[in-house]
Structures are given as structure tokens and as C-alpha cells.
Structure 1
Amino acid sequence: MSVKIAVLPRPSVQRRIFDQSHWEQLETIGTVVRNMSEDPLQPETVQSVIQGADIAITSWGCIPLTRDILDFAPHLKAVLHAAGTVKGVVTPDLWDKGILVSSGNGPLGVGVAETALGLTIASLKHMWRLTDSTRNGGWGAERQQVRELYRITVGVVGAGKAGSHYIRLLRNFEVEILIYDPILTVEQAEAMGAKKADLETVLAASDVVSIHAPSLPETYRMINRERLALMKDDAILINTARGALIDEAALVDELRKGRLLACLDVTDPEPPAPDHPLRSLPNCILTPHIAGAVNNGIKRIGQFAIDEAKRLLAGEKLEGEVKGEQMNVLA
């Protein structure tokens, strides 16, 4: 019996996550039914597309899959979310019906981790400051400030998909890795090649701190004034997670002292006001939320959804599976 795959996002989102090669792969798996309406999704549209489906692919702009929608797909086996957080689409009805859920946080985390590593190397090398100096006629007068990713301590806050991949990348270098994650065990940290520590120790001991924690009520402003004060002089703070994790007013005060270098891909809110000090402080590198999948990188999550469909039909475990009991600790 042919497998029916319902692709629920609007066509503009489909074009972002899938190219022609992806559609060809999906068509070898089963019958593909696509939402062809560019209008904001309504339950009636989803019901029409998902009717009789075995697999549903969701992404940005999709609505919660409630019982009145799921009743149209009584044989639905899995919802494959070709985006990050699944909180916008999952409902208790999915868990009640035993439908598997997969998130694209893994492939998104790859791009985030790679960006964090790039910021780590560029910041240790003082590329930002040396570029400005060179542009203004200088040539290496500040080279003595350059450091390598060698025999230093890197602190990682959060061992989710992005944080874990960042650690894997760091294992190519001779560095000590400290990690703070309250749900990670000492043994799990050691298996990753890191040492588990409390947040205060990570901040105080690290030359570079990279934030990869989810944005939850418990993590709001976790990097506050007192904790920023613990950081070493000349330490580097990288945030590719969410702006709400940092007390930005406190960070501005620390940056004005010239103690730290901050690399921020995220702020709270986004974008920051045109006159926000983070835009003008020379020791703040500000990028417009580009650490995750952008342009061609977004296709990675489309491929991941296809690969998850293949794993499902082969009876294998989904790599991005999310369970109901995890929802309170996931972004």
C-alpha cells in the first residue's frame, strides 16, 4: 500500500526547505500531497491536505495539530517538523494517539555550532580589532593580543543539539571544555569530552563562553550582572541561542569597562533599537540572527525530514524524536 506524505506548510515555506531533488526523493517514498494555498493556514486547509496521510511534514507557519485535524488522518504515524521548536504544532492529542514527533533542531544546531566556532576563532585572533586597525593604516601593532584555540578553557552553556555539536567541533582542538547543563550527568559530559560544572564555575574559569541554552522561564536573564562579573578579564562571551538569556543592560555596563568581548547573534528584542549601545560598542560584535539555517543552509532541514521519513518506514529510531515529557525543558 502506498505511503501518503502530507506537506502542510505554505508554498513559500516549502520553497525555502525543499528543492527539486528533495521532491524527487519524497516521491520515491510515497504519494506526496502538498498544501498549494499561500493563505495563512486554517484547520480546514490542513484537514484537506492531511486526510488519510501516514506522514505529515510541518514547518514554520503551521498550526497546532489538534484532534479535529488528526481525526482526518487515523493512520498517521509521525509528524516530521522541518524547523526548530515543535511547540507551535504539537498538542496532547498527538501523544494520546501515539504519533511520533521529530524536530529539525539537530540540523539547525549544526549551523549554529559552526557559527559559534567561527566566532570563537575570529574573536581569539582579535580579527575584528585588527581589521579596523589595518583599515586605518596599521599593521599588526596589536598582534600580541592574538590567542589560539589551544590550551585554553571553553565553557559551554547548554548541551542540546547546538551545544553538543559545538563540543564535537571543539574536540578537534587541544582545549579544556567545561559544560553547564542541569539535566546532563557527569558521565554524559565525560562521554562528550567535557567536564560538567556549575554555571558560576564555567563563567569564572573560561576564556570563551558560548551560550546554547533554550529560552525558558528558568533561563530568562540567566547571564545576569552578578554572573557577568565572574568572567575573566578579556574573556569572550558568545550568544547564538536567544537574547533573553542575557541581561543586556548589565552586559552593556561590563562592555563599557572594556573587560569583555561579546559576540551576539541574538538580542532581546530583535532587532535592537537603532541607538542601542550594543550597535556601537567596539567590543561588541553584532550579527542579525544568522547563526542558524539561512538561505541554502535551510535545505538541510528539508533533507533531514526526508531522512527521518526513510528511517520511520525502515523501522528505525527517529534521530530528532521529541517526547511529550521533554516539552518543559525544550525551547
Structure 2
Amino acid sequence: MGVKIAILAEPDIQQRIFEDSHWRQLADIGEVARNDQPGVPRPEILKRLLEGADYAITSWGCPTLTRDILEVAPELKAVIHAAGTVKGIVTPDLWSRGIRVTSGNGPLGIGVAETALGMTIASLKEMWRLSQDTRNGKWDEGRGRVRELYRVTIGVIGAGKAGAHYIRLLRNFEVTILVYDPVLTAEQAEVMGAVKRGLEEVLRRSDVVSIHAPSIPETHKMFNRERLGWMKDDAILINTARGSIVDEEALADVLREGRLFACLDVTDPEPPAADHPLRGLPNCIITPHLAGAVNNGVKRLGQFAIDELRRMLAGEPLAGEVKEEQMSTLA
């Protein structure tokens, strides 16, 4: 008997992450049972789809897979989450039944890392401010502030999927890469091409600090007034992770002093209030949470799910596997 694959996400989400070539690939692998009901999938729909299923593909909007739902799928071997965090769908029952869980944080991290790199280059080059100057009739008065991505120090906060990919991209440049991540060993950092250091040293030495940490209680307002004060004058702070990691009131005060430059793709909350002080500061760039998979980039998640399924069937290591013991340190 062939493999049964249950697609649990609602049709609108399916359309976002899968294209025609993806459906053909899935059909070549096995029988595909697709959710055809709009809205958050109801338990009875999940049960119908999962009955007899070997694999389930979830995404945004899928509810928690409770014991009651899992009872109908004794042959279920893996849940492949074609989105980021799995915290909204997993229960201990998954792991207790030997069901493997895998997350699309890797493909999402590609877009995040590429955006962080773009912000790194544009900020070092002073593109944001020089563009504004030229719009106001000036030309190259600020040219002396321009820096290249060459022989500067980049600090990376968090070496998960996005942070690790950012480090890989940075290895194309002659730069020093420092990384702060409590769960990363010095040996792992070295293999990645970075040097592990404590948070204070990373902040004091870096010309650019890029945040890729998860939003967990330990990182809430991690970048407070004291730690922002550790950063070098004229350093650049990039946040493509979560807005809650930065104390925005403290950051606004530091930016008003003119010491730092900030690029924020995330705020807390989103969107920020119309009169939020960060909106009006000339040394703060805010983009509307576009660093992750957006529009055509979302299709990476569909291909990821298919590739992960193939790895599972071939007995190969999974690219995005999430273990139960990792849950406390993941976003």
C-alpha cells in the first residue's frame, strides 16, 4: 500500500505555499488528502484527513494536534510544519507516540538572513541617509561616513536557522564574525566561521549587531538601556527577529542622542502606533515585517515540506527536526 499524505492547512494557505509543480511532486510520492474547507480546520476535518495517514503537512492556522485527534492516525510517522514555530501545533502526545516533528524555520530563515545582509550593506554604505540627502538637494556631503563590508566586525545574536544562514552569507566578505548564543559551543561557532564570545564583548566590539534570537522569556527586552550603552558609537543595530527583544523606549532615547543607527523589521506591537517615537527618527529605518518568506518566497516552504518528506522516506536526517527537549529554547 502507498503512502498517505494529509495536507491539513486550509485552501488559502495551501495556495500560498504550494504551486502546481509541488502538487505533482506530492502525487508522485503517494496519495494526497487535501483540506478543502476554508477557515481554521475543525477537529472533525483533521480527523477525516488524518485517518490512515502516514505523514501530515501543517502550516499557519492549523490548531493543536491533541491526543483525541491523533487517535485516528496510529500510523502517523511525522508532522512536517510548512511554517515557522511549531509551538501552536505540538503536544507531548506527538513525541510520546514516536511521531517526528519538523519545522520550516530553515527556509524562512533564508529570507530573514538575506534581508539582514541587505540592511547590513545598505547601512554601512549610508544608503538610507544619503538617499534622503539627495532627495533634499544635497549630493555627497555624507560620503565620509560610508563604510564597506570589509574588515569590520559583525556581531550575531543567536545562531539558529536565520542567524546561521546570515553567518554563511557573511563568509563571502572579509569580516570578523562574533556570535553570542548560550546553547552554541565554541567548536560549533568555529565550524560556522564565527567566534563565540559573551554578550558584552560582542556588543562592545561590533560595528554591526544583527539580532536573530528567539522570543522567549529570557530574551524579553534583552536589548535594554544598559546593553545598548555597551555598543560602539556609530554602530548599527539590526532586528529581523522579534520586536519584544528590544526595549524600544530605551532604543529611542539612544537614537535621539545620535550614537547608533537602527534597522528594524519588527516592532512590539506591530504595527507601531502612528505617533511611536521610532517612526520619526532619521537614524531609524522601519520596514513592515518583510524579512521572512514573503509572496514568491513563501513557495520555499512548500518545496521544503516535499524535500523533508523525501528525506524521511529515504531514512536521511531531517533538515528541520524539532526535539521535545528543544521547545524551551525555540521561538
What TM-score do you get using the length of structure 2 for normalisation?
0.99
**4+ residue stretches of structure 1 with deviation over 6 A?**
none
Whether 2:199 is the aligned partner of 1:199: answer yes
CA deviation map 1:51-103 (0-9, x unaligned): 11000000000011111111111101100000000001110000000001110
Q: CA deviation at 1:41?
A: 1.7
Taking the TM superposition and a 5 Å limit, the aligned residue runs for 1:106-255 are 106-255=106-255
Counterpart of 2:72 in structure 1 is: 72
2:38 match: secondary structure: coil
Contact 2:9 / 2:59 at 8 angstroms: preserved in 1? yes
Q: Deviations over 1:236-291 (max 9, x none)?
A: 00000000000000000000001110000000001000010111100000000000
Match in the other structure for 2:318:
318
Is the Cα contact below 8 Å between 2:84 and 2:103 reproduced in 1? yes
Q: Give 1:37's aligned residue.
A: 37
- Look up the equivalent residue of 1:251 and give its one-letter code: L
Identity %: 71
Report the alpha carbon displacement of residue 168 of structure 1 after superposing the two structures with TM: 0.4
CA RMSD of aligned residues (A): 0.6
Amino acid of the structure 1 residue aligned with 2:103: S
Q: How high is the TM-score relative to the length of structure 1?
A: 0.99
The AA in structure 2 aligned to 1:216 is I
Q: Distance in 1 between matches of 2:277 and 2:287?
A: 14
Q: Which stretch of structure 1 is more off in the superposition, 32-41 or 158-167?
A: 32-41
Q: Distance in 1 between matches of 2:206 and 2:286?
A: 21
Counterpart of 1:55 in structure 2 is 55
How far does the alpha carbon of each residue in 1:200-246 deviate from its partner, in whole angstroms, 9 at most, with x for none?
A: 11111100000000000011011110000111111000000000000
Which deviates more, 309-318 or 77-86?
A: 309-318
- Structure 1: tracts of 5 or more residues without a match: none
Confirm or deny that 1:289 pairs with 2:280.
Answer: no
The 1-side partners of 2:158 and 2:40 are apart by 34
Separation in structure 2 between the aligned mates of residue 40 and residue 328 of structure 1, nearest angstrom: 26
Query: Partner amino acid for 2:252?
Result: V
Give secondary structure in 2 for the equivalent of 1:209. strand
State the one-letter code of the partner of 1:277.
P
Q: Distance in 1 between matches of 2:220 and 2:89?
A: 23
Deviates further, 36-45 or 79-88: 36-45
Partner letter of residue 2 of structure 2? S
Bigger mean CA deviation after superposition, 262-271 or 309-318: 309-318
Say which SS state the counterpart of residue 177 (structure 1) adopts: strand
- For the 8 Å contact 2:40–2:63, the answer to whether it is kept is no
Structure 2 SS opposite 1:56: strand
Tell me the distance in 1 between the aligned counterparts of 2:131 and 2:317: 48
One-letter amino acid of the structure 2 residue matched with residue 324 of structure 1 = E
Alpha-carbon shift at residue 50 of structure 1 (Å) = 1.0
Give the structure 2 partner of residue 94 of structure 1. Answer: 94
Task: Provide the rounded CA distance (Å) in 2 between the counterparts of 1:70 and 1:320.
Answer: 22
- Unpaired segments of 5 or more residues in structure 2? none
Amino acid at match of 2:266: V
Q: What amino acid maps onto 1:148 in structure 2?
A: E
SS at match of 1:32: strand
Matched pairs, number: 331
Cα distance in 1, alignment partners of residues 324 and 165 from structure 2: 24
What is the SS of the residue equivalent to 1:53?
coil
Q: For the residues of structure 2 that align with 1:265 and 1:328, how far apart are their CA atoms?
A: 24
Structure-1 residue corresponding to 2:28: 28
Q: Which whole-Å CA distance do the structure 2 matches of 1:26 and 1:280 have between them? A: 48
